[in-house]
């Protein structure tokens, strides 16, 4: 059968590669199509309608993009596609009734782990047998949605073929960045985590272990084949939910076994990236992991306030977070983390505890956001049971219990809209500073003292930005704490000023980040030839077919991340490190299928004239509120892609200000030495405030801006409406001539 698999491809999509591998092994013809931007829906739908493959598979891993994938499914039907549409991933597994029963055009959902179920589904479709015979499947039938017997979690992971590597890898600081999966599942029970909910649901359906591993030999074999096929050393990003195990001795034994397996297969200098819970990392283990090649760890800090950690069901991990970050620092492992500072029971005191933690650990980059109630998680179910949730299955919303903390969340969402949530924002870019320097140290020769110079510069820049973020967030807390809650006017004005202050600071940091990454790129280019993988006698014969497929990798599509070219990408080759990024903070306080009259088309306005299905129930913003019109922006790699929680379409209660921030962007064109900038998205009656270092002529929607000479100038505009504040910025260097 002819199969098309569609999914996000910000880096290489391992899930699609795994499904493609088992389908090809079963004799089917498989093609992988990237779907990174809602604006590509029409092109994808037209091509599929023209070629009419037998089956289309939608990889819908994250809830915040569910509306885009479901809209694509509806468009496929509108364009005349008559084949079978199936979906898989965390979100459709937990929300299969809504995915199948709301008229989206999806025929089936592959539940939980998909390899065996997908192959059985293809066989049933090919031979015309009943879908009831396929275990682990939900499907639409005349009598409504039906679900077959669960498959559970019993299949050994070594039994699966290696995933198809359908495109060339990205390069980080000149090094191939290769994602890999060595285990599945997690022993934790965090209330906000859709991953643990996904696997616990599978265990209830059919039994099996929540945490399963590939053998070290199996993992090393795949890594060695990839390294030999590429002909150079790689940094491997383990997308395991937990790279480290509960006991340090078990973690050391497993990583050591993988390294031994690599050396036996002729690979000596691989790099490792992974995620870990803080209580699993000791100082002694960190030193040994660094010696084995671990260059980066994403440490699951989440919330350092004791109450916040308990509210999120993180146990006593808050006691270990400082120790874990210190262990990484002392061992020379780059570490970064996120903070879910806003959660249903948060208070301003808890937020201040997290700010104090940021200040105490300035050497590690951090981003902050709200704990989102993903479908089927304990957080979402608990809020629903208590009647505190709004929105729909496409995006849930809640109001923080404490009014001043809810206000603080709204202020921070507006003020940090671009810093925290844009793909090319300061938070995402500075996450890669120390990582890029660490890759240079691990993989490249130390010429002219470059290692020490880059590491020191990275640390200095990281510390400065972390402390700046902490100070600006504290201003948001101070404003929320001192404000008269019924004085909407004063709160909105002060929020606008704070947002402009953040934007002005961002201009400075963006310039510093440009210079740092330019130094990294210059160093890599001066080195010339790529680093060959140091080889021991090769005891395993390279896989000829794999080598051939790697040589034929096509360049993958990129939008907001994933530079897949052979040259060092911008920003030193930052990686995307997504762990179920949060959706916009909710949907509408409406019935699940209510069509929202004032919603924008869910393709961000693209192809609207040709789209008979542009209105989507409860749609989050198509691009997370990020302005991604510039081609260069679309090439930027992403460290942690956090979707804008200040989106206008995420309706909030109106008892507090900042309940409906406008969605805005700046369009610009050069006119001689000046730039003509036009604001888009601001409703009638909005007030504007434009700022830049160079002169700005005009006060309304269109202005003429002459960037300051010799400065990396940026234009900033604050838009104030009845109910919200938004700030957008535009760097002069991003505006191309013509």
Query: pLDDT tens-digit profile of 511-540?
Result: 999 999 999 999 999 998 555 554 444 444
- pLDDT > 50? residue 399: yes
Residue of 112, 1, 5 whose CA lies nearest to 56: 5
What CATH number is attached to the domain comprising 8?
Answer: 3.40.50.280
> Helix (H, G, I), strand (E, B), or coil: what is residue 695?
coil
Average pLDDT for the chain: 85
Residue 112 and residue 173 in one domain? no
Residue 610, burial from CB neighbour count under 10 angstroms (0-12, 13-18, 19+)? middle
Residue 267 and residue 318 in one domain? yes
Edge-to-edge, what's the strand order for the sheet holding 2-7? 29-34, 2-7, 55-59, 84-88, 108-110, 137-141, 144-147
Residue 377 and residue 435 in one domain? yes
Residue 216 and residue 328 in one domain? yes
Task: State residue 531's pLDDT score.
Answer: 55
- Is residue 160 in some structural domain? no
- Name the domain boundary from 550, 572, 594: 572
Among the residues of 82-129, which ranges form H helices?
A: 90-94, 96-101, 115-127
- Is residue 394 in some structural domain? yes
- Is residue 31 in some structural domain? yes
Residue 141 and residue 185 in one domain? no
pLDDT tens digits, one per residue of 57-106: 999 988 889 999 999 999 999 999 999 999 999 999 999 999 999 999 99
Residue position matching structure tokens 């304990």: 378
Task: State residue 315's pLDDT score.
Answer: 78
Could you tell me which residues come within 8 angstroms of residue 149 by beta carbon, excluding any fewer than 6 positions away? 135, 136, 205, 206
Average pLDDT over residues 297-326: 92
Residue 78 and residue 222 in one domain? no
Residue 130 and residue 222 in one domain? no
- Residue 18 pLDDT grade (very low, low, confident, very high; cuts 50, 70, 90): very high
Distance CA 644, CA 190 (A): 23
* Domain region containing 444: 167-572
- Is residue 717 in some structural domain? no
Distance CA 558, CA 630 (A): 12
Distance CA 600, CA 733 (A): 29
- Name the domain boundary from 113, 147, 181: 147
Residue 299 and residue 350 in one domain? yes
pLDDT tens digits, one per residue of 586-642: 222 222 222 222 222 233 333 333 433 322 222 222 222 222 233 322 222 222 222
Task: State residue 260's pLDDT score.
Answer: 98
Question: Between β-strands 2-7 and 29-34, what pairing exists: parallel, antiparallel or unpaired?
Answer: parallel
Residue 298 and residue 370 in one domain? yes
- pLDDT > 90? residue 363: yes
As a whole-number percent, the residues of the chain with pLDDT over 90 amount to 77
Distance CA 321, CA 361 (A): 10
Task: State residue 530's pLDDT score.
Answer: 55
Task: State residue 600's pLDDT score.
Answer: 24
- Is residue 705 in some structural domain? no
What CATH number is attached to the domain comprising 528?
Answer: 3.80.30.20
- pLDDT > 90? residue 578: no
pLDDT tens digits, one per residue of 147-187: 999 999 988 999 999 999 999 999 999 999 999 999 999 99
Please tell me the pTM assigned to this model: 0.86
- Residue 738 pLDDT grade (very low, low, confident, very high; cuts 50, 70, 90): low
Distance CA 651, CA 453 (A): 48
Structure tokens at 35: 């779907």
Distance CA 236, CA 176 (A): 8
Distance CA 28, CA 119 (A): 9
- Residue 392 pLDDT grade (very low, low, confident, very high; cuts 50, 70, 90): confident
Task: State residue 652's pLDDT score.
Answer: 83
Distances (CA, A) of 428 to 63, 189, 425, 642, 673: 21, 27, 6, 9, 31
Task: State residue 378's pLDDT score.
Answer: 97
- Name the domain boundary from 521, 550, 572: 572
Cα dihedral angle (276, 280, 283, 287), rounded to 10 degrees? -50
Find how far residue 204's CA is from the centre of its chain.
Answer: 28
Q: 171, 223 in Cβ contact below 8 A? A: no
Question: Between β-strands 674-680 and 702-705, what pairing exists: parallel, antiparallel or unpaired?
Answer: antiparallel
Residue 75 and residue 113 in one domain? yes
Distances (CA, A) of 618 to 60, 68, 182, 228, 273: 17, 12, 36, 48, 36
What's the DSSP call for residue 663?
A: P
Domain count, the chain: 2
Could you tell me which residues come within 8 angstroms of residue 18 by beta carbon, excluding any fewer than 6 positions away? 114, 115, 160, 163, 181
Q: 658, 491 in Cβ contact below 8 A? A: yes
- pLDDT > 80? residue 508: yes
- Residue 114 pLDDT grade (very low, low, confident, very high; cuts 50, 70, 90): very high
Residue 133 and residue 226 in one domain? no
- Is residue 351 in some structural domain? yes
Distance CA 145, CA 263 (A): 51
- pLDDT > 70? residue 679: yes
- pLDDT > 50? residue 3: yes
pLDDT tens digits, one per residue of 147-156: 999 999 988 9
- Is residue 277 in some structural domain? yes
Residue 143 and residue 172 in one domain? no
> Backbone phi, then psi, for 499, in 5-degree steps?
-65, -40
- pLDDT > 90? residue 42: yes
> Quick one: which H or E segment has residue 639?
none
Work out the angle at residue 610's Cα, subtended by the Cα atoms of residues 609 and 614, and round it to the nearest 5 degrees.
Answer: 80
HSE, CB side, 13 Å, CA atoms: give it for residue 289: 35
Q: In the 3-class helix/strand/coil scheme, how is 271-307 assigned residue by residue?
A: EEEEEECHHHCCHHHHHHHHHHCEEEEEECCECCCHH
Q: 587, 390 in Cβ contact below 8 A? A: yes
> Helix (H, G, I), strand (E, B), or coil: what is residue 522?
helix
- Is residue 696 in some structural domain? no
């Amino acid at each position: 059968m002819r199969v098309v698999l569609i999914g996000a491809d910000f880096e290489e999509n391992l899930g699609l590669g795994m499904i493609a591998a088992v389908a090809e092994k079963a004799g089917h013809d498989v093609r992988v199509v990237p779907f990174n931007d809602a604006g590509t829906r029409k092109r994808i739908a037209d091509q599929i309608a023209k070629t009419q493959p037998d089956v289309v598979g939608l990889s819908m891993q994250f809830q915040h993009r569910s509306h885009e994938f479901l809209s694509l499914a509806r468009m496929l039907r509108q364009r005349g596609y008559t084949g079978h549409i199936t979906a898989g991933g965390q979100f459709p597994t937990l929300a299969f009734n809504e995915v199948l029963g709301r008229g989206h055009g999806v025929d089936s959902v592959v539940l939980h782990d998909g390899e065996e179920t997908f192959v059985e589904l293809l066989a049933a479709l090919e031979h015309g047998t009943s879908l009831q015979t396929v275990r682990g499947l939900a499907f639409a039938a005349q009598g409504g949605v039906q679900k077959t017997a669960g498959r559970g979690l019993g299949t050994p992971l070594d039994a699966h073929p290696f995933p198809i590597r359908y495109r060339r890898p990205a390069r980080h600081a000149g090094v191939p960045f290769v994602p890999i999966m060595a285990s599945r599942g997690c022993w934790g029970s965090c209330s906000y985590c859709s991953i643990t909910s996904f696997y616990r649901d599978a265990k209830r359906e059919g039994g099996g272990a929540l945490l399963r591993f590939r053998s070290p030999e199996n993992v090393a074999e795949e890594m060695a084949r990839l390294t030999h096929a590429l002909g150079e050393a790689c940094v491997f990003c383990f997308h395991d939910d937990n790279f480290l195990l509960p006991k340090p001795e078990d973690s050391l034994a497993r990583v050591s076994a993988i390294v031994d397996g690599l050396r036996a297969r002729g690979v000596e200098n691989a790099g490792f990236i992974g995620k870990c819970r803080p209580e699993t990392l000791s100082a002694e283990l960190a030193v040994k992991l660094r010696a084995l090649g671990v260059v980066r760890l994403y440490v699951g800090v989440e919330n350092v306030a004791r109450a916040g950690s308990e509210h999120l069901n993180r146990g006593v991990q808050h006691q270990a977070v400082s120790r874990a970050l210190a262990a990484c620092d002392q061992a020379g492992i780059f570490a970064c983390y996120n903070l879910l500072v806003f959660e249903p029971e948060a208070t301003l005191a808890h937020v201040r505890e997290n700010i104090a933690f940021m200040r105490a650990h300035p050497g590690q980059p951090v981003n902050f956001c709200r704990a989102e109630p993903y479908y089927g998680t304990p957080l979402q179910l608990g809020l629903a049971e208590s009647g505190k949730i709004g929105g729909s299955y496409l995006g849930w919303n809640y109001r923080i219990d404490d009014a001043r903390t809810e206000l603080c969340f709204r202020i921070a969402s507006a003020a940090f809209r671009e810093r925290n949530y844009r793909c090319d924002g300061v938070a995402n870019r500075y996450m890669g500073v120390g990582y890029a320097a660490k890759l240079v140290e691990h993989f490249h020769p130390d010429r002219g003292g470059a290692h020490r110079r880059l590491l020191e510069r990275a640390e200095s820049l990281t510390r400065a930005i972390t402390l700046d973020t902490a100070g600006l967030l504290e201003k948001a807390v101070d404003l929320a704490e001192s404000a008269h809650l019924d004085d909407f006017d004063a709160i909105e004005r002060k929020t606008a000023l704070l947002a402009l202050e953040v934007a002005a600071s961002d201009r400075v940091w963006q310039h510093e980040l440009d210079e740092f990454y330019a130094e990294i790129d210059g160093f890599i280019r001066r080195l010339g030839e790529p680093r060959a993988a140091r080889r021991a006698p090769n005891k395993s014969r390279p896989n000829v077919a794999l080598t051939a497929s790697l040589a034929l990798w096509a360049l993958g599509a990129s939008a907001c991340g994933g530079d897949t070219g052979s040259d060092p990408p911008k920003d030193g080759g930052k990686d995307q490190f997504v762990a179920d990024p949060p959706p916009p903070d909710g949907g509408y306080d409406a019935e699940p299928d209510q069509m929202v009259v004032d919603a924008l088309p869910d393709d961000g306005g693209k192809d609207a004239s040709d789209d008979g299905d542009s209105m989507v129930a409860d749609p989050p913003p198509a691009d997370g509120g990020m302005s991604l019109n510039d081609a260069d922006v679309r090439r930027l790699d992403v460290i942690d892609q956090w979707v804008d929680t200040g989106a206008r379409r995420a309706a909030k209660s109106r008892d507090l200000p900042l309940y409906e921030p406008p969605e805005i962007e700046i369009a610009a064109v050069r006119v001689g030495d000046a730039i003509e900038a036009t604001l888009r998205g601001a409703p009638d009656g909005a007030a504007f405030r434009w700022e830049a270092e160079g002169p700005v002529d005009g006060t309304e929607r269109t202005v003429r801006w002459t960037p300051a000479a010799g400065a990396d100038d940026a234009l900033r505009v604050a838009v104030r409406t009845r109910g919200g504040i938004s700030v957008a910025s535009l760097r002069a260097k991003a505006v191309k001539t013509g």
